[in-house]
Amino acid sequence: MRDVVALVLVTVAFLTLPLIIGQAEHKVMAHMQGRLGPMYAGGFHGWAQLVADGVKFAQKEDTVPAAADRRIFLLAPGVALVPYLVVLAVVPVGPGQVAVDLSLGLFFALAVMGIGVIGSIMAGWASANKYSLLGGMRVAAQLVSYELPMVLAAASAAMAAGTLNLSGIAGAWQWWWLVWQAPAAVVFFLAGLAELRRPPFDMPVADSEIIFGPYTEYGGLRFAFFLLAEYAGILVVCSLTTVLFLGGWQGPLLPGFLWTLIKVFLLAFVVIWFRVAFPRLREDQLQRLAWVYLVPIALGQLALTGVVKVVTGA
């Protein structure tokens, strides 16, 4: 019974929190650019804008290009979206408050998140469109480069906590990890952004050069799934960063799950902020950032974590 309730709660969170992040992006981005953003849908400051968008997407025709690989093309949005739902099930929101408490939770989360990226590569390949193919190849290149620093940074947190269980990592967190694990936190967060293809790492969907990358041929509900996957991805990356590097539910006064939510939304704000403030990285700059900076920093952090663990004898 408890499992069913927990899974229902995870599903509800999966369906609502990405929309809240999306709406926050509308408003925050607008105000950062001196605009107001949506003001009409729903009456009060356009709160229902994304609902209206969803209704619009649902009304549109579901087209498949004649030359497309039909089955793969139709499957791709699901492959992009579902992994994030699965990851959310292993993320703890409070002490003992997790839908599925896996002992290999971190390994599971990173492995499943990698599958989400496959959805974009499938979309790029199956669309039979040169822009989609270019975008898909860029997605693949980005996955290969950024998966490594991401895993290394996550490994540092796991090593520091001495467990791969996400609840265990969040529970073992001490405030001085903020300093000790800071490089890993930055590397993990940036690599997570790159894996989501969020600006400034949105080379694969660079609209000014390759239309919309792998999603060029998509419309209607399937396109909406890709958009939803992006925002669900923000939620997942932010909550993983929270659990691994910001102590998850730990914090004074407020109940644990509120602290988790506060930290997740603060990180989501940073994600939006980066999008507004920074221009897109060129493809070679993107690769350079991963291989010349993030991987060595993550390796150095891993060595530092190991040395500290051995010296303190834990």
Partner 1 sequence: MRPGLAKGLAVTLRTMMKRSGTRQYPEVAPDLAPRSRGVIALFEENCTVCMLCARECPDWCIYIDSHKETMPAEGSARARSRNVLDRFAIDYSLCMYCGICVEVCPFDALFWSPEFEYAAYDIAELTHERDRLREWMWTVPPPQAHEPNADPPKELR
User: Which parts of this chain interact with partner 1 (CB under 8 A)?
Assistant: 28, 30-36, 39, 273, 276-278
CA–CA gap between residue 228 and residue 188 (Å, rounded): 22
Q: Smaller CB distance to partner 1: residue 257 or 269?
A: 269
**Cα angle value 241/87/216 (rounded, 5°):** 95
Query: Least separation, in Å, of the C-beta of 36 and partner 1?
Result: 5
Cα distances (Å, whole numbers) of residue 77 to 74, 121, 167, 226, 288:
7, 11, 30, 6, 29
CA–CA gap between residue 184 and residue 149 (Å, rounded): 9
**Cα angle value 114/146/266 (rounded, 5°):** 85
Contact 51, 41 (CB under 8 A): yes
Contact 77, 85 (CB under 8 A): no
Query: Least separation, in Å, of the C-beta of 96 and partner 1?
Result: 37
Query: Least separation, in Å, of the C-beta of 28 and partner 1?
Result: 7
Q: Smaller CB distance to partner 1: residue 20 or 276?
A: 276
Q: Smaller CB distance to partner 1: residue 34 or 313?
A: 34
Q: Smaller CB distance to partner 1: residue 35 or 70?
A: 35
Query: Least separation, in Å, of the C-beta of 188 and partner 1?
Result: 17
Within 8 A by CB and 6+ apart from 298, the residues are: 148, 149, 152, 153, 156, 183, 184, 187
Cα 153 off chain centre by: 15
Q: Smaller CB distance to partner 1: residue 31 or 56?
A: 31
Query: Least separation, in Å, of the C-beta of 88 and partner 1?
Result: 29
Query: Least separation, in Å, of the C-beta of 98 and partner 1?
Result: 33
Q: Smaller CB distance to partner 1: residue 30 or 262?
A: 30
